Amino acid sequence: MSSINYSEKIPNNVNLSEDRTLQRALEGWQPNFINWWDDVGPEGSTNHEVYLRTAVSVDPQGWAQFGHVKMRDYRWGIFLNPGDANREVHFGDHKGEKAWQDVPGEHRANLRRIIVTQGDTEPASVEQQRHLGLTAPSMYDLRNLFQINVEEGRHLWAMVYLLHKHFGRDGREEAEALLQRQSGNEDNPRILGAFNEKTPDWLAFFMFTYFTDRDGKFQLSALAESAFDPLARTTKFMLTEEAHHMFVGESGVSRVLQRTAQVMNELKTDDPQKVRAAGAIDLATIQRYLNFHYSVTIDLFGADQSSNAATFYSSGLKGRYEEGKRDDDHVLKGQTYKVLEVQNGQLVEKDVPMLNALNEVLRDDFIKDSVAGVNRWNKVLEKAGIPTRLTVPHKAFNRQIGALAGIKMSPDGRVVNEQEWSARKDEWLPTAEDFAFVASLMGRVVDPGKFAGWIAPPVMGINRQPVDFEYVRFG
Amino acid sequence: MDMAVVNTGVIKQHLIDPEICIRCNTCEATCPVGAITHDDRNYVVRADVCNGCMACISPCPTGSIDNWRTMPAVKAYSIEEQLTWDELPAELTPEQLEAEGVDDGAAEAVQQTLAAAEPAAAAEPGTVAFNSAQYNAATPPWSAAHAYTNLYPPKSPTTATVVGNFNCTEAGFENQTHHIVLDFGTMPFPVLEGQSIGIVPPGTDAAGKPHHARQYSIASPRNGERPGYNNVSLTVKRVLQDHQGQPVRGVASNYVCDLKVGDTVQVIGPFGNTFLMPNHPKSHIVMICTGTGSAPMRAMTEWRRRLRKSGKFEGGKLMLFFGARTQQELPYFGPLQNLPKDFIDINFAFSRTPGQPKRYVQDRMRERAADLAELLQDGQTHFYVCGLKSMEEGVMLALRDVAADAGLDWDTVGAALKREGRLHLETY
Q: pLDDT of B174-199, one tens digit each?
A: 667 888 999 999 999 999 999 999 99
Q: Which residues of B touch A466 (CB under 8 A)?
A: 340-342
Residue B2 has pLDDT above 50, yes or no: no
From the list B55, B70, B163, the residue with the least C-alpha distance to B108 is B70
Active site residue B392: no
How many A×B Cβ pairs under 8 Å? 83
Chain-chain contact of A61 with B58 (C-beta, under 8 angstroms): yes
A7, A53, A59, A75: best mutation site toward chain B, by most B Cβ within 10 Å? A59
Q: How close B320 comes to chain A (CA, Å)?
A: 16
Average pLDDT on A13-31 reads 91
> How far apart, in Å, do the first and last CA atoms of chain B sit?
33
DSSP string for A362-405: HHHHHHHHHHHHHHHHHHHHHHTT------PPPTTTT--SSTTT
Chain-chain contact of A1 with B355 (C-beta, under 8 angstroms): yes
Active site residue B196: no
For chain B, which residues make up each domain, given as ranges?
A: 2-110, 132-144+274-427, 158-271
Average pLDDT on B384-390 reads 87
Nearest residue in B to A382, CA atom: B86
Active site residue B428: yes
CB B66 within 8 A of CB B60: yes
Chain-chain contact of B355 with A59 (C-beta, under 8 angstroms): yes
Selected catalytic residue, list B64, B132, B196, B217: B217
- For the stretch A351-390, pLDDT in tens is 999 999 999 999 999 999 999 999 999 999 999 999 999 9
CATH class as words, domain A16-473: mainly alpha
B58, B366, B368: best mutation site toward chain A, by most A Cβ within 10 Å? B58
| Least confident segment among A302-311, A328-337, B4-13, B401-410 | B4-13
Report the residue from B20, B56, B350 with minimal CB separation from A459: B20
Chain-chain contact of B59 with A217 (C-beta, under 8 angstroms): no
Give the architecture-level CATH label for domain B2-110.
Answer: 2-Layer Sandwich (3.30)
Residue A3 has pLDDT above 60, yes or no: no
- For the stretch B261-272, pLDDT in tens is 999 999 999 988
Do you find a cis peptide bond into B270, omega within 30 degrees of 0? yes
Report residue A464's pLDDT band, with 50, 70 and 90 as the boundaries: confident
Report residue A329's pLDDT band, with 50, 70 and 90 as the boundaries: very high
CA distance B229 to B222: 10
B62, B87, B353: best mutation site toward chain A, by most A Cβ within 10 Å? B62
Average pLDDT on B357-379 reads 91
What is the per-residue pLDDT for A1?
Answer: 37
| Least confident segment among A152-166, A305-319, A334-348, B300-314 | B300-314
Selected catalytic residue, list B216, B255, B332, B384: B216
- For the stretch B96-118, pLDDT in tens is 777 776 655 555 544 443 332 22
Q: Which residue numbers of B have CB closer than 8 Å to A's CBs?
A: 19-20, 22-26, 29-30, 40-41, 54-59, 61-63, 66, 86, 327, 340-342, 348, 350, 353, 355-357
What is the per-residue pLDDT for B243?
Answer: 64
Residue B123 has pLDDT above 90, yes or no: no
User: Per mean pLDDT, which of A246-255, B52-61, B275-284, B317-326 is the most reliable?
Assistant: A246-255
Report the residue from B26, B66, B327 with minimal CB separation from A243: B26
CA distance A422 to A408: 10
- Amino acid making up residue A349: E
CB B2 within 8 A of CB B20: no
Helix (H, G, I), strand (E, B) or coil at A166: helix
DSSP annotation of B353: -
Q: CA quadruple A144, A147, A153, A156: dihedral positive or negative?
A: negative
Q: How far is CA A336 from the centre of its chain?
A: 29
Give CA angle at B11 (B6, B15), nearest 5°.
155
Residue B239 has pLDDT above 90, yes or no: no
DSSP annotation of B106: H
> Pairing state of beta strands B36-38 and B196-200?
unpaired
Chain-chain contact of B59 with A466 (C-beta, under 8 angstroms): no
Report residue B80's pLDDT band, with 50, 70 and 90 as the boundaries: very high
Measured from the Cβ of residue A138, the count of other Cβ atoms closer than 10 Å reads 25
CATH 3.40.50.80 assigned to domain B132-144+274-427? The reply is: yes
CA distance A107 to A322: 22
Average pLDDT on B279-303 reads 91
- For the stretch A215-242, pLDDT in tens is 999 999 999 999 999 999 999 999 988 9
Average pLDDT on A1-6 reads 51
* Percent above pLDDT 90 for chain B: 42
What is the per-residue pLDDT for B105?
Answer: 53
Residue B121 has pLDDT above 80, yes or no: no
Residue A437 has pLDDT above 90, yes or no: yes
Report the residue from A62, A379, A465 with minimal CB separation from B342: A465
* Percent above pLDDT 90 for chain A: 85
CATH placement of domain B158-271? 2.40.30.10
Report residue A250's pLDDT band, with 50, 70 and 90 as the boundaries: very high
CB B104 within 8 A of CB B387: no
Q: Which residues of A touch B40 (CB under 8 A)?
A: 372
Active site residue B420: no
Give CA angle at B309 (B13, B314), nearest 5°.
135
Describe the strand order of the beta sheet including A49-54 as a list of residue ranges. A65-70, A49-54, A472-473
Chain-chain contact of A82 with B62 (C-beta, under 8 angstroms): no
* Percent above pLDDT 70 for chain B: 87
Average pLDDT on A454-470 reads 92
Nearest residue in B to A67, CA atom: B368
Residue A36 has pLDDT above 80, yes or no: yes
Helix (H, G, I), strand (E, B) or coil at B364: helix
For chain A, which residues make up each domain, given as ranges?
A: 16-473
Average pLDDT on A140-147 reads 97
Average pLDDT on A93-119 reads 96
Give rounded-to-5 percent helix, strand, coil for chain B. 25, 25, 50
Contacts of A125 (CB under 8 A, 6+ apart): A148, A152, A183, A195, A199, A208, A212, A213
More confident residue, B4 or A262: A262
Q: Which residues of A touch B353 (CB under 8 A)?
A: 59, 61
Q: What is the mean pLDDT of chain A?
A: 93
Q: What is the mean pLDDT of chain B?
A: 83
Phi/psi of residue A186, each to 5°? -65, -35
CB B267 within 8 A of CB B162: no
Report residue B4's pLDDT band, with 50, 70 and 90 as the boundaries: very low
Active site residue B302: no
